[in-house]
């Protein structure tokens, strides 16, 4: 009889069984779960200011209290699930964090989009964070000067060299206060290679063509995102970004930069014991940037070799600097030449001494060249006879130096 009853009731509208009811409830819970999860991800992104691409699904392991304390009458202020969901959502937000390339995070304004996030002029490079977390930008020459880098001379020649400078993230965040983002994981600069000056294929002797690039190895997302390369700079025509560099620089430079970017992305330390990860990551990042820096210097050294004093290695141990001005003042007209590539004055002194001066009569350097080099230069047109007016003006400048 009971059997007949049940078949009679299912003959009309099918009534949901206990199993269907549970499935329907779970589907609703799943939907709500995903919404809450997504909200936690958005909250994290709003807090860090770093956007990202949300994955379609997230692996989730949840632990449930089977004797729920809320049911037992002592309700906890925060849900046990909330802690787990929030933690996982933050991890996913951090791992998928993508910072806008071409911009540095400003901890003062808590933004990538304020005026501090990019250089104001082409010759500026990122020189570190201020105590209050603002990105600071300085001329590359000033950065080298502050660090007492002797290579600064190479940037002040009439035909300046292209130099690189590799700095650690610690150095760049040295002055930054902890409350203004020091050791923050929102935008963590692990290291930086600065390159300058580039001139985009234009005449490198003219400062108005110069620009610097700051190449930063960055990890967003609290140390959980991938290490990537951020490229910062402003070209003399006002354009920013890697695309503009791409249009004006040598393909070899771009290859070197791209390769470094790939190597940074490959850095993976999760298989190491936790306590060693930070140091090992830093070591590998510095290695990649040092290699990049050597590659870049090699590219530009080869490019300008012909226009430089490659005979430096023939230099005598005792530099003939002390006699420079005296030799120059005593030099006869036939011993004074104009270096047409470097835009400098060349004085041939006694015993193969060669002194280089600029137009203002300022002594740049002195060298000893083998006699055949001097002959070669004066007969092949690198060093030319000066025009009488220019020569007279130059001699006047030299005379001025004796009166100071």
Binding site for Zn ion (CB under 5 A): 106, 108-109, 114, 116
Angstrom distance (rounded) from CA 52 to CA 93: 7
Q: Which is nearer to Zn ion, 136 or 341 (CB)?
A: 136
Provide, rounded to whole angstroms, the least separation between the CB of residue 130 and Zn ion: 10
- DSSP string across 350-389: STTEEEEE-TTS-EEEEEE--HHHHHHHHHTTSEEEPPHH
Q: How far is the CB of 179 from Zn ion (least distance, A)?
A: 16
Cα separation, 135 vs 176, whole angstroms: 10
CB of 118 to Zn ion, least distance (A): 10
Region label for 109, one of left (φ > 0), alpha (ψ between -120 and 50) or beta (otherwise): alpha
CB 82 within 8 A of CB 65: no
Closest approach, Cβ 137 to Zn ion, in A, equals: 12
| Cβ proximity to Zn ion, 110 vs 252, nearer residue | 110
For the CB of residue 132, give the shortest distance to Zn ion in the complex, in Å.
10
Q: Which is nearer to Zn ion, 47 or 329 (CB)?
A: 47
Residue placing its CB nearer to Zn ion in the complex, 107 or 394: 107
Q: Which is nearer to Zn ion, 50 or 264 (CB)?
A: 50
Query: Which are the contacts of 109, defined by CB distance < 8 A and separation ≥ 6?
Result: 116, 134
- For Zn ion, the closer of residues 36 and 114 by Cβ is 114
- Taking a C-beta distance cutoff of 8 angstroms, is the pair 34, 42 a contact? no
Report long-range pairs for 38-44 (Cβ below 8 Å, ≥24 apart): 38/89, 40/85, 40/86, 40/89, 40/90, 40/93, 41/89, 41/90, 41/92, 41/93, 44/89, 44/90, 44/93, 44/94
Min. distance of Cβ 104 from Zn ion in angstroms?
Answer: 9
Handedness of CA 139, 303, 317, 398 (dihedral sign): negative
Question: Least distance to Zn ion from the beta carbon of 111, Å?
Answer: 6
Phi, psi of 346 (to 5 degrees): -120, 120
**Smallest distance, Å, CB 110 to Zn ion?**
8
Q: How far apart, in Å, do the first and last CA atoms of the chain sit?
A: 125
Min CB(113)–Zn ion separation in Å = 9
Q: Check residue 147 and report its DSSP letter.
A: T
Which residue's CB is nearer to Zn ion, number 37 or number 137? 137
Residue 133 vs 196, nearer CB to Zn ion: 133
Which of 179, 182, 180 lies closest to 170 in space, CA to CA? 182
Beta strands in 21-146 (DSSP E): 51-52, 97-98, 124-129, 135-139
Tokens in use for 43?
């909250």
For Zn ion, which is the closer residue by CB, 50 or 85? Answer: 50
* Segment 276-283 long-range contacts (CB within 8 Å, at least 24 positions apart): 278/223, 281/190, 281/227, 282/168, 282/169, 282/190, 282/191
Closest CB to Zn ion among residues 107, 337 = 107
């Amino acid at each position: 009889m009971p059997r007949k009853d049940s078949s009679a009731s299912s003959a009309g509208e099918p009534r949901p069984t206990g199993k269907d009811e549970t499935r329907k409830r779970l589907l609703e819970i799943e939907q709500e779960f995903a919404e809450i999860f997504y909200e936690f991800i958005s909250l994290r992104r709003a807090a860090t200011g770093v956007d990202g691409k949300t994955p379609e699904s997230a692996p989730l392991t949840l632990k449930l209290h089977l004797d729920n304390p809320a049911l037992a009458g002592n309700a906890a202020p925060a849900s046990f699930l909330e802690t787990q969901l929030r933690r996982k959502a933050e991890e996913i937000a951090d791992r998928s964090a993508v910072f806008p390339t071409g911009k540095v995070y400003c901890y003062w304004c808590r933004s990538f989009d304020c005026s501090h996030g990019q250089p104001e002029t082409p010759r500026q490079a990122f020189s570190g964070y201020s105590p209050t977390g603002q990105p600071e930008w300085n001329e590359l020459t000033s950065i080298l000067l502050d660090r007492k880098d002797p290579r600064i001379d190479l940037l002040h020649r009439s035909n300046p060299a292209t130099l690189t400078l590799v700095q650690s993230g610690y150095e760049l965040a040295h002055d930054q206060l902890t409350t203004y983002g020091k050791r923050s994981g929102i935008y963590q600069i692990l290291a930086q290679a600065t390159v300058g000056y580039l001139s985009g294929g234009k005449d490198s002797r003219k400062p108005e063509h110069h620009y610097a690039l700051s190449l930063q190895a960055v990890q967003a997302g609290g140390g959980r995102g991938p290490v990537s390369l951020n490229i910062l700079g402003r070209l003399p025509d006002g354009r920013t970004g890697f695309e503009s560099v791409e249009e004006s620089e040598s393909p070899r430079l771009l290859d070197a930069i791209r390769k470094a970017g790939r190597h940074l992305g490959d850095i993976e330390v999760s298989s190491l014991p936790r306590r060693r990860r930070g140091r090992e990551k830093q070591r590998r990042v510095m290695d990649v940037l040092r290699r990049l820096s050597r590659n870049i210097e090699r590219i530009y050294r080869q490019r300008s070799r012909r226009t430089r004093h490659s005979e430096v290695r023939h230099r005598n141990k005792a530099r003939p600097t002390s006699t420079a001005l005296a030799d120059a003042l005593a030099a006869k007209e036939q011993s004074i030449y104009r270096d047409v590539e470097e835009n400098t004055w060349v004085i041939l002194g006694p015993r193969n001494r060669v002194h280089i001066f600029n137009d203002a009569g300022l002594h740049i350097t002195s060298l000893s060249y083998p006699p055949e080099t001097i002959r070669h230069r004066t007969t092949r047109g690198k060093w030319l006879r000066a025009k009488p007016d220019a020569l007279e003006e130059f001699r006047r400048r030299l005379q001025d130096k004796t009166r100071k």
